[in-house]
Chains A and B, each alone.
Chain A
Amino acid sequence: MTRSRRSAADTTPPTANLGELEQLVLLSLLRLGSDAYGAAVRREIEARSGRPVALTAAYTVLDRLEAKGMVRSTVAPATGARGGMRRKHFEIRPAGERALGVAYRRIQALADGLEERLAE
C-alpha cells in the first residue's frame, strides 16, 4: 500500500533535487518544445554542451523525470523512416520547470561573483 503511494507523481515535492543529467535533459526539453524525443534530446545536449550522452541514458532519465511528474510523454504512431517503430515525444510539465528554476537559481546564487573564474 505504502509503496504505491510513494511512486505516485503528485506527491513528489516540486523542489526535488535534480541530478546534472536531469537538469540538462529538462533544459533541452525547454529548448526543443513540442519536437522533443529521445534522440533529439541527446543531440541537443551534445551539440550545445559537448557532453556525450548514451541514448539509453537519455531515455532512463526521461523515464525517471516522468515518474517524478516533471515530464509528460505521448507516443506517436509508427513511421516508415523509423523502420515501423513508434516515437515517444516528451514535454516538460510545470513541476519540471519549477524544479529547473530552483536548480538554476541555486547555481546562480552560488556562482555569483565567480563568473569570470568559471568562464575560463
Chain B
Amino acid sequence: MTAARDRRSEHNGGSAAPPPRLARWLIERIAPEQHREFVLGDLTEEHAELCSTRGPLRARLACWRQVLRCLGQRLRESPPRRRGRPRRPGEPMPAIALQDLRLAVRTHLRRPGLAAAIVAILALAIGSITAIFSAIDAVILRPLPFPRPAELVAVFDQQLDEEDYPASFPEFLDWRASGELAHLAAIARIRVTLTGTGDAESLAAYRTSAELFPMLGVEPVHGRLFDSEEEAGAGPDVVLVSWSSWQRRFGGDPSIVGRSLTLDGVPRTVIGILPEGFEDVYPAAGRAALRRELWLPLELDEEGAPRGLHFLSLIGRLHPGRTLEQTAAAMGTVAQRLRDEGVSRHGIALESLQDRLAREQRPRLLILAAAVGCVLLAACANVAGLLLARSAERAGEVAVRRALGAGSARLLIQLLLEGLVLTIAALPLGVALAVITVALLRGELPAYSMAVGGRALAFTAALGVATTLLFATMPALHAARGGRSASLTAGRDRLARAPRQRLRSALVVGEIALSLVLLVAAGLFGRSLHELLRTEVGFETGQAAAFDLELPRGRSELEAIRSFYRDVLAEVAAIPGIETAGLTSELPLDGGGTNGGVPIEGRDDPPESIPVAEKRIVSPGYFSALRIPLLAGRTPSADDVDGRPSVVVVSESFARRYFEGESPLGRRLAFSWEIDGWQEIVGVVGDVKHYTLDEEPEPTVYIAFEQRPAHSLTLVARTTLPLETVYGVVRERIAAIDPTVPVARPRNLQEVVATTVDDRRLLLALVGSFAAIALVLAATGLYGLASYSTRLRTPEIGLRLALGASPGAAFRLVVAQGVQLIALGLILGLIGAWSATRLIASTLYQVSPFDPTTLIGVCSTLAAVGLAACWAPARRAVRVDPAVALRDE
C-alpha cells in the first residue's frame, strides 16, 4: 500500500508547496551532512504528496512530527565525530548538541559558589516578577469569568458631586424599563441571621433581581433560580445557597434543596445551589469573611425603598453590537427624559465592569510591576557583573579554544548557553518562590482567584529567555571578542581588561541608581503611611472593643427592638471594668456608611443644594465610648425617647459648612431616613473620619436610637479589661438576654483603624522588600568590583607604597573609585526617581514626591552602604606588601 503511494508520487510533479521553511532550516542543522540532501528530499516529496491527498494542515503536522522525531534522535545520539575540527569557511555551523550543554553545566560546577549565587539572585528576581505578574493577571488582565465579559457594565446613579453613586429601587425599575440595556440586574448587600442550626449566625448575603443569573450565564448545580414573581416578593419565600456554603454548612448534600432555612426569623425554602466558583458578583468585593453565602430575591417595593434611598449596585449587559459609548449616550437621554418629567434629578453613568473592578487595584499593581522590573534589571546587572569577572578569568580558556579553531559565533553560543543553564536552574526555584509569594498575597487579596497558572508560567519562561539575553549577552560578547587579543600565556593583559572594568563599573552604577529609585519609593510610602497613622481620626482607638449585633428582621415591633438594645446597654455597662458602652449604626472606618440629603427647616434650598450628610444612629453612651468631644449643647440623653420631640446632634464640619458661623443649636432639620418630620439640633460634636484616613471628615448628623430604632447596630465598649476577656464576657451577657441574636466580629478599634491602611501596608512591605533586594544587589556588586580592581591594581599599589606613598593614600585610591561610582549612581538614581515618583504621587498622603527628608535619608543610606562595601577591599589595599606585589609582577 505504501509502495503504491510512492509510485503515485512520481507523477505528482513539483506543483505542491514545499515544507515549512523553519522545518527545513532545522533539518539542515539536525541531519548529518551525508544524509542531509536525501532527508530533505524525502520530506519535501512526502509533504507534497500529503498536501494533495490529505490537505496542507495534515501535511504540515506530519512534517513537524518528523522534524521533532529527528531532533529527539539527534539529541540521544552520541556526539558527532567531527568535534574539535576547525570549521571550514562556508561550512554550516555545527548544531548545538547535548555535549555543549554538558560542557556548560560542568563549567559552572567548577565554581559552584559563584553559580549558586547567580542562581539565587536570578531565582529571587524571577520569583518576585512571576508573583506580581500572577497578581496583575488575576486582577487586570484576565477577563471576568462570565460569557462575553466585554458586554458587562456597572451602572451608577450620577449626582452632582459623584459619578458612581448606588441606584435607588425606582431608578432601577425606570432604567430597566427603558430597554437601552439588554439586561439590567440589581444587587444589594445584606446580612441575614440564620437560626435553628446551632448558634444564631449572621451571614453575608445578597438580594438580587432574577435577571442576574441568566445575564451572567450562571446555572444552578441543583434545583432552580428565582423567577420574576419571587423577585417582586409575590411568590413563596425562597433562597439560593452558594457552593462553598453548601459544602461547608450542609456537607454538599443535594437533598438540602426543598428544605427550609430560618433567615431573620422567616422560613425560606432552598430552591437551588449555585455553581462552584460563583461566590460573588464582584471578585473585588473584599475579604474572604464577607463571601456571600446566601442569595435572596430582591423583594422590594417603592414604599419600602423610595427614590431617595440609594443602595443598589446595578450590573447590565450591553445589547450585542452596541458600544459602551452608544449605550451611555442612550442612557443619558433616558436620564434627561426622567429629569424633564420631574421624576428624578440624577444622571446615569456606565463603566465597563472589568475596569470598575480593577480600578482600585490597578495603580498599586502597576507600581509593583515597575518596582519588580527594577529588581529584575538590578539582578541582571549584578549577574552580568559576576559573569564579566568570570570571563576575565576565562580569557585563557577562550584563547585556547580560539586557537583550536572555534569561531566567534560558536564561542558566543557556548557562553550564552552557559547563561541559559543558570536561568534554567533558577526557574524552578523562582516559580517555587512565586507560589509562596502568591499564597501570601492571596491572604491579603482573598477575593481574587490568584494562582501561578499556565499564563504566569509561560510568562516566566519568556522572561527567563529575556533575562538570559539581558545578563549573558554582554559578558559573552566580551569574552568571545576578548580572546582574540589575549595571548595564551598571559592572563595579565591589562589592556584587554580595561573595557571589561568600565562595563562592570557601568553595571554597578546602574544597580545603585535602580536601588535608589526603589528606596525612594519605599521611603515615600513609609512616610505617607506614617503620616496617615498619625492623622486625627476624631476618636480614641485604645482599649475599646466593638461587636456587631443583628436582631432578626422578623422581629419588627419597634418596642421589642428598643427594649433588646436597652437591655444590652444596661447589661454591658454593668460588667465590672467596662467604663462606657454605646451603640451606633456604623462604626467609623469600618467600611460602611449611610448618607443622603438633610433639608434644613426654614430654608428653601433648591433640590441640588440640599445639605448632604453622613447619617448615623447612636445611643446616649456612644460619644463618650468613642471619646468624641462635645463642642456645644448636649449629646442625646436617656430622656430622648419615643414620644418626646426628636433630636439630632451634628458634627463640627456640618455646622461650619451649612450654618456658616451661626449656631445650629435649636435649628431643625429633616433626618429623612425612615423617620418623618423635623428634628431639633441639640448639640455639636467633633468630626470623625468615616471611610478612609486620607479623607476630609464628612459632615455628619447623629440621631438618637430610641427615636429611630434599627435592627443591626454595632456595640462599642470602652474598658480597662484585657480585650480578649471583654469579647467573652460580652458574648455571654448578650446570649443571656437573647440567644437567637448573633454577636459577630469582635474587634478592637485599633484593628479597625489599622485595617483601613492594609493595602498601603502591603504595598510598602512589597516595595520595601524589593528595595532591600536591590540594595543588597548594589552593595554586593560594588564590593565585587572593588575587590576585583584592588586585586588587579595590587602591583600598582605595591609600587606606589614602595615609592613612599602612605597607606592612607592607598586606602583613598580604592575608596575614591567607589565614591565616584556611588556619586554617579546617586545622580542617575535621582533623575530616575524624579520621573518615577510622578507615577506614585497620587498614592502618597501629605508627602511630596520630592520630600527632602526621604531623599536625603535614602541618599545617605545608599552612600553609607556603598562605602561599607568598599571598606574591606580598601583595607586589603593598605595591607599590600610592596615586595610581594612587585615580585609577582
- Contacting B18 at CB < 8 Å: which of A32, A43, A83? A83
- Contacting A47 at CB < 8 Å: which of B2, B37, B43? B2
**A35–B495 alpha-carbon span in the complex (Å):** 65
Distance from B815 Cβ to chain A, minimum over Cβ atoms (Å): 61
A56 contacts B42, C-beta separation under 8 Å: no
Binds B, one of A9-17, A85-93, A101-109, A111-119: A85-93
B69 contacts A52, C-beta separation under 8 Å: yes
B66 contacts A40, C-beta separation under 8 Å: no
- Is B289 an interface residue when CB atoms closer than 8 A count as contact? no
- Is B40 an interface residue when CB atoms closer than 8 A count as contact? yes
List the B side residues contacting A81 at CB < 8 Å. Answer: 9-10, 12-14, 44-45, 48
- Is A54 an interface residue when CB atoms closer than 8 A count as contact? yes
A35 contacts B3, C-beta separation under 8 Å: yes
B73 nearest CB neighbor, chain A only? A54
- Is B644 an interface residue when CB atoms closer than 8 A count as contact? no
List the B side residues contacting A52 at CB < 8 Å. Answer: 69
List the B side residues contacting A37 at CB < 8 Å. Answer: 38, 42
Distance from B48 Cβ to chain A, minimum over Cβ atoms (Å): 6
List the A side residues contacting B46 at CB < 8 Å. Answer: 39
- Is B120 an interface residue when CB atoms closer than 8 A count as contact? no
- Is B70 an interface residue when CB atoms closer than 8 A count as contact? yes
- Is A79 an interface residue when CB atoms closer than 8 A count as contact? yes
List the B side residues contacting A86 at CB < 8 Å. Answer: 37-38, 41
**A99–B7 alpha-carbon span in the complex (Å):** 29
Range, interface on chain B: 20 to 34
- Is B82 an interface residue when CB atoms closer than 8 A count as contact? no
- Per-residue CB contact flags for chain A residues 59-74 toward chain B (1 = under 8 Å, else 0) read 1100100000000000
Binds A, one of B27-35, B261-269, B386-394: B27-35
Given A35-B3, A35-B7, A83-B41, A54 contacting B35 (CB threshold 8 A): no
- Is B1 an interface residue when CB atoms closer than 8 A count as contact? yes
**A82–B185 alpha-carbon span in the complex (Å):** 65
- Is A96 an interface residue when CB atoms closer than 8 A count as contact? no
**A39–B40 alpha-carbon span in the complex (Å):** 10
Given A39-B42, A55-B42, A83-B40, A63 contacting B73 (CB threshold 8 A): no
B13 contacts A54, C-beta separation under 8 Å: no
**A53–B38 alpha-carbon span in the complex (Å):** 16
**A120–B774 alpha-carbon span in the complex (Å):** 64
**A55–B66 alpha-carbon span in the complex (Å):** 7
Q: Which of B2, B12, B40 has the most CB of A within 10 A?
A: B2
- Is B74 an interface residue when CB atoms closer than 8 A count as contact? yes
Q: Which of B6, B9, B74 has the most CB of A within 10 A?
A: B6
Given A47-B1, A54-B66, A57-B73, A83 contacting B42 (CB threshold 8 A): no
- Contacting B39 at CB < 8 Å: which of A32, A56, A80? A56
**A33–B44 alpha-carbon span in the complex (Å):** 22
List the B side residues contacting A53 at CB < 8 Å. Answer: 69
B70 contacts A44, C-beta separation under 8 Å: no
**A87–B77 alpha-carbon span in the complex (Å):** 24
**A79–B12 alpha-carbon span in the complex (Å):** 10
List the B side residues contacting A33 at CB < 8 Å. Answer: 3
A87 contacts B38, C-beta separation under 8 Å: yes
**A40–B7 alpha-carbon span in the complex (Å):** 11
- Is B258 an interface residue when CB atoms closer than 8 A count as contact? no
Docked complex: A30-53 residues within 8 A CB-CB of B: 32-33, 35, 37-40, 43-44, 47, 52-53
- Is B72 an interface residue when CB atoms closer than 8 A count as contact? yes
Distance from B506 Cβ to chain A, minimum over Cβ atoms (Å): 46
Majority secondary structure of chain B interface residues (helix, strand, loop or mixed): helix
List the B side residues contacting A79 at CB < 8 Å. Answer: 14
**A82–B44 alpha-carbon span in the complex (Å):** 5
B38 contacts A59, C-beta separation under 8 Å: yes
Range, interface on chain A: 20 to 34
- Contacting B13 at CB < 8 Å: which of A43, A56, A80? A80
**A43–B32 alpha-carbon span in the complex (Å):** 20
Distance from B28 Cβ to chain A, minimum over Cβ atoms (Å): 12
Distance from B51 Cβ to chain A, minimum over Cβ atoms (Å): 11
List the B side residues contacting A47 at CB < 8 Å. Answer: 1-2
Docked complex: B38-85 residues within 8 A CB-CB of A: 38-46, 48, 66, 69-70, 72-74, 77
Distance from A114 Cβ to chain B, minimum over Cβ atoms (Å): 30
B14 contacts A59, C-beta separation under 8 Å: no
List the A side residues contacting B7 at CB < 8 Å. Answer: 35
A35 nearest CB neighbor, chain B only? B3
A63 contacts B35, C-beta separation under 8 Å: yes
A75 nearest CB neighbor, chain B only? B38
B31 nearest CB neighbor, chain A only? A56
A85 contacts B40, C-beta separation under 8 Å: yes
Given A80-B14, A81-B13, A55 contacting B45 (CB threshold 8 A): no
B40 nearest CB neighbor, chain A only? A85
Distance from B34 Cβ to chain A, minimum over Cβ atoms (Å): 7
A85 contacts B37, C-beta separation under 8 Å: yes
B39 contacts A38, C-beta separation under 8 Å: yes
Distance from A14 Cβ to chain B, minimum over Cβ atoms (Å): 25
B38 contacts A88, C-beta separation under 8 Å: yes
**A36–B622 alpha-carbon span in the complex (Å):** 98
Given A80-B14, A81-B9, A56 contacting B41 (CB threshold 8 A): no
A85 contacts B44, C-beta separation under 8 Å: yes
A39 nearest CB neighbor, chain B only? B42
Q: Which of A33, A63, A81, A86 has the most CB of B within 10 A?
A: A81
**A60–B13 alpha-carbon span in the complex (Å):** 28
Distance from A3 Cβ to chain B, minimum over Cβ atoms (Å): 13
B43 nearest CB neighbor, chain A only? A55
List the A side residues contacting B48 at CB < 8 Å. Answer: 81
- Contacting A59 at CB < 8 Å: which of B10, B18, B35? B35
A56 contacts B2, C-beta separation under 8 Å: no
Distance from B790 Cβ to chain A, minimum over Cβ atoms (Å): 54
B73 contacts A87, C-beta separation under 8 Å: no
**A87–B9 alpha-carbon span in the complex (Å):** 13
List the A side residues contacting B37 at CB < 8 Å. Answer: 85-86
List the A side residues contacting B6 at CB < 8 Å. Answer: 35, 40
List the B side residues contacting A88 at CB < 8 Å. Answer: 38
List the A side residues contacting B74 at CB < 8 Å. Answer: 56
Docked complex: A18-38 residues within 8 A CB-CB of B: 32-33, 35, 37-38
Distance from A49 Cβ to chain B, minimum over Cβ atoms (Å): 13
- Contacting A60 at CB < 8 Å: which of B3, B35, B42, B45? B35
Distance from A120 Cβ to chain B, minimum over Cβ atoms (Å): 27
**A12–B43 alpha-carbon span in the complex (Å):** 33
B70 contacts A55, C-beta separation under 8 Å: yes
B44 contacts A44, C-beta separation under 8 Å: no
A31 nearest CB neighbor, chain B only? B3
B41 contacts A85, C-beta separation under 8 Å: yes
Distance from A20 Cβ to chain B, minimum over Cβ atoms (Å): 15
B31 contacts A44, C-beta separation under 8 Å: no
- Besides A35-B6, A59-B32, 10 other CB < 8 A contacts? A37-B38, A54-B73, A55-B42, A55-B69, A56-B30, A59-B35, A60-B77, A79-B14, A83-B40, A88-B38
30 contacts between A and B (CB under 8 A): A32-B2, A35-B7, A38-B39, A39-B43, A39-B45, A40-B3, A40-B6, A43-B2, A47-B1, A47-B2, A54-B66, A54-B69, A54-B70, A54-B72, A55-B69, A56-B31, A56-B70, A56-B74, A57-B69, A57-B70, A59-B31, A60-B35, A60-B77, A80-B14, A81-B10, A83-B44, A85-B37, A85-B38, A86-B41, A88-B38
Question: A residues touching B (Cβ–Cβ < 8 Å)?
Answer: 32-33, 35, 37-40, 43-44, 47, 52-57, 59-60, 63, 78-83, 85-88
What 7 A-B pairs come out closest when comparing CB atoms?
A80-B14, A85-B41, A39-B42, A54-B69, A82-B41, A54-B73, A59-B35
